[in-house]
Chains A and B, each alone.
Chain A
Amino acid sequence: MDIFTQQLINGLVVGSVYALVALGYTMVYGILELINFAHGEVTMIGAMVALMVIGALLGVAPDMPGLMVFAGGLLVAVPACMALGFAIEKIAYRPLRHAPRLAPLITAIGVSIVLQNLAMLIWGRQYISFPPLLPQGRHEFLGAHVTDTQIIIFVTALIVMAGLWLLVERTRLGRAMRATAQSREVAQLMGVNVDRVIAATFIIGSGLAALAGVLVSAYYGLAHYYMGFMLGLKAFSAAVLGGIGNIAGAMLGGLLLGVIEALGAGYIGDLTGGFLGSHYQDVFAFFVLILVLVLRPSGLLGERVANRA
């Protein structure tokens, strides 16, 4: 089996999930210049809510086809997280819109801690297994294995991202979002209801996060109250890699980071003569983040914002 192709495929699948989460960071950052620290936890809440619904559905109708149960979980988790995102913005960020920069960042950390610990109280500390609802078939592809689950995740992520692209580029709301990102004040003067645009941004981003959370826990077959933290950090790194504030950049950055991580974990042992092993996988995202910020703070596709005071 070709390790390179295999890791490339695995990386693209995980990367497409990173991209979904990164979109939420980048949209919020583009408009508010705020790192929505709690975004990672929203993905976790999405996975947990979906699991609860899936468990209930399987209890009521055990013969229901797997894909329908999966869709049922998504149909509850996504709106629930949209409401959560809306509430977070309203409670924790909106009152601080004119406060010093550190203030909303600290509330964001607070919200993140609250969500994580609420999840722990509700769903417990243990890992929760995600039932194998998606088709499990395996295909040979260029000397590597691709599973149906991987295909479904990748294609779903791509479709949703294409939808988001259309929303931002072709609709009235999208135009309002782009205007608000350019200048909140001027957009307001042009009759854009900035508060509503910001709320919509949080709602859309949280919906994407919920989808990502469900997909990633279906992929690994596990969910955990702590899963949102690393996922959020990596997605943020992906957003910075692509150029934060830039939607295409978040998609590219997510896919790229997934691939870097998978290839890195696959080859680090050989490269360092066995000194460092694949358990350093989580370190790659941070190294990428630090390297990008040092060498090209604007990211691959972004404008230069990092030094704007």
Chain B
Amino acid sequence: MAWLRARPRLALLLLAALLIALPFLVGAGLGRSWVRVLDFVLIYALLAIGLNIVVGYAGLLDLGYIAFYALGAYLYAWLASPHFGLHLPFWAVLPLGAALAGLFGVLLGAPTLRLRGDYLAIVTLGFGEIIRIFMNNLNAPFNLTNGPQGMNLIDPVSVGGLAFEGQRQFLGLTVTGLHLYYYLFLAFTLLAIGVAMRLQDSRIGRAWAALREDEVAAAAMGINTRNVKLLAFAMGAMFGGLAGGLFAAFQGFISPESFNLWESILVLCMIVLGGMGNIPGVILGAVLLTVIPEALRYLGDLQRATLGHVAVDPSDLRMLLFGLSLVAMMLWRPAGLWPSRQRKREFASEDEHADLYDARA
């Protein structure tokens, strides 16, 4: 790897080539269903990057993040499906979804952000459940969300007359909607990474870090803590709304079940596991936690081969393993698999003062 490190431009080129070829490599090697997994990896990466702004940068634990995802998805479904007979193009709907989610972020944040972290966690959790319960029940007296059945026949994304569905031949390759969505999601994810990284190094990003470390000290330094928190909340929510719109277009179908608390926790797990506050770590977390459950499906085949029957349903094991890994990570590697350097130092609280006496630090 050292020779690559010395040639950053070549490394970037190789990475770009790999990212472009990836869906075809995966499709050829593992089958088409894995291209779909790849698309989900990118959606979750987008969500994780958004939540990371709230949790990783600003240190506000948000357990209802999926509500913003739901808002984005439902707005997309309202504006681009036969439900209300509206068929707006995706580039018009996505910003609206992000804006709606951001607005709700401010509405929820304004009264609650003066609360301490763990209260905020519970309130956001409650907010997430409220949104889900409303989505589940708003099919009467007028049918807004179609209740538990969910909404279907949502328009796929289409760019310049090219709808992202079906399949076509291109340069001898079979290009399906799944492939096109991959590139669309990749573009949004790269954009999100760029925005998140620039934010982290900005004045606002430093204010978030100060807030996370010590709210009182941050306020004493002249940071308007309430506004800065609200900004983090709204910004994270907008990413969530954007991802929700993409999800709705990609799936063509949404129902309240896709937006339950465990989805929020799943995204949180990605951040914690990967390394809070560190973009590469967060993406690593999103990749691992999306791919591992899919790979776990093979556990069923394995059991059938060795035991002759499926003793434990692998999908039952999935959440159990998530729970165990959350506990284990916090106990043994609280900064995550790929922490930022700053974070690593913060978590080494035992020798917090050691570096004062250590000339090398």
Are the CB atoms of B330 and A107 closer together than 8 Å? yes
Task: Tell me the bound Cα distance from A34 to B330 in angstroms.
Answer: 15
Whether A172 sits at the interface, judged by CB under 8 Å, is no
Q: Give min CB distance, B271 to chain A, whole Å.
A: 10
Contact residues, B279-326 vs A (CB, 8 A):
312, 316-317, 319-320, 322-326
> Considering residues B118, B127, B272, which has the most beta carbons from chain A within 10 angstroms of its beta carbon?
B118
Known interface pairs A103-B334, A274-B141. Does A114 touch B324 (Cβ–Cβ under 8 Å)? yes
Contact residues, B155-194 vs A (CB, 8 A):
none
Are the CB atoms of A35 and B118 closer together than 8 Å? yes
Are the CB atoms of B125 and A116 closer together than 8 Å? no
Among A35, A107, A280, the residue within 8 A (CB) of B326 is A107
Contact residues, A83-128 vs B (CB, 8 A):
91-92, 95-96, 98-107, 109-118, 120-121
User: Chain A: interface residue count, which band?
Assistant: 35 or more
Chain A residues positioned under 8 Å from B130 (CB to CB): 283, 286-287
Task: Tell me the bound Cα distance from A280 to B265 in angstroms.
Answer: 23
Contact residues, B89-122 vs A (CB, 8 A):
111-112, 114-119, 121-122
Are the CB atoms of A100 and B347 closer together than 8 Å? yes
Chain A residues positioned under 8 Å from B331 (CB to CB): 92, 95-96, 107
Tell me the interface secondary structure of chain A in the complex.
Answer: helix
Contact residues, B319-356 vs A (CB, 8 A):
319-320, 322-327, 330-331, 334, 346-347, 349-350
Tell me the interface secondary structure of chain B in the complex.
Answer: helix
Q: Which residue of B lies closest to A244 (CB)?
A: B119
Are the CB atoms of A35 and B324 closer together than 8 Å? no
A-B contact count (CB 8 A): 140
Q: Which residue of B lies closest to A290 (CB)?
A: B123
Are the CB atoms of B323 and A111 closer together than 8 Å? yes
Are the CB atoms of A290 and B126 closer together than 8 Å? yes
Q: Which among A144-152, A158-166, A192-200, A301-309 touches the partner chain?
A: A301-309
A268-296 vs B, CB cutoff 8 Å, 1 = contact: the mask equals: 00000011110110110111011001100
Are the CB atoms of B324 and A110 closer together than 8 Å? yes
| Number of chain B residues close to chain A: CB under 8 A | 51
Task: Tell me the bound Cα distance from A274 to B127 in angstroms.
Answer: 23
> Considering residues B127, B137, B312, B330, which has the most beta carbons from chain A within 10 angstroms of its beta carbon?
B330
Are the CB atoms of A109 and B265 closer together than 8 Å? yes
Chain B residues positioned under 8 Å from A117 (CB to CB): 316-317, 319-320, 323
Are the CB atoms of B133 and A113 closer together than 8 Å? no
Known interface pairs A100-B346, A233-B125, A294-B112. Does A280 touch B137 (Cβ–Cβ under 8 Å)? yes
Are the CB atoms of A309 and B126 closer together than 8 Å? no
Whether A236 sits at the interface, judged by CB under 8 Å, is yes
Q: Which residue of B lies closest to A105 (CB)?
A: B118
Are the CB atoms of B121 and A35 closer together than 8 Å? yes
Whether A249 sits at the interface, judged by CB under 8 Å, is no
9 contacting pairs across A/B (C-beta < 8 A): A35-B122, A98-B349, A100-B346, A107-B326, A112-B323, A229-B261, A283-B130, A306-B115, A307-B114
**A residues adjacent to B (C-beta < 8 A):** 33-35, 91-92, 95-96, 98-107, 109-118, 120-121, 229, 233, 236-237, 240, 274-277, 279-280, 282-283, 285-287, 289-290, 293-294, 297, 306-309
* Given A104-B330, A110-B326, A289-B123, 12 further pairs, Cβ under 8 A: A102-B59, A103-B334, A105-B117, A106-B326, A107-B331, A109-B63, A110-B322, A110-B325, A113-B323, A285-B126, A293-B119, A308-B116
**B residues adjacent to A (C-beta < 8 A):** 55, 59, 61, 63, 111-112, 114-119, 121-123, 125-127, 129-130, 133-134, 137, 140-141, 214-216, 261-262, 265, 268, 272, 312, 316-317, 319-320, 322-327, 330-331, 334, 346-347, 349-350
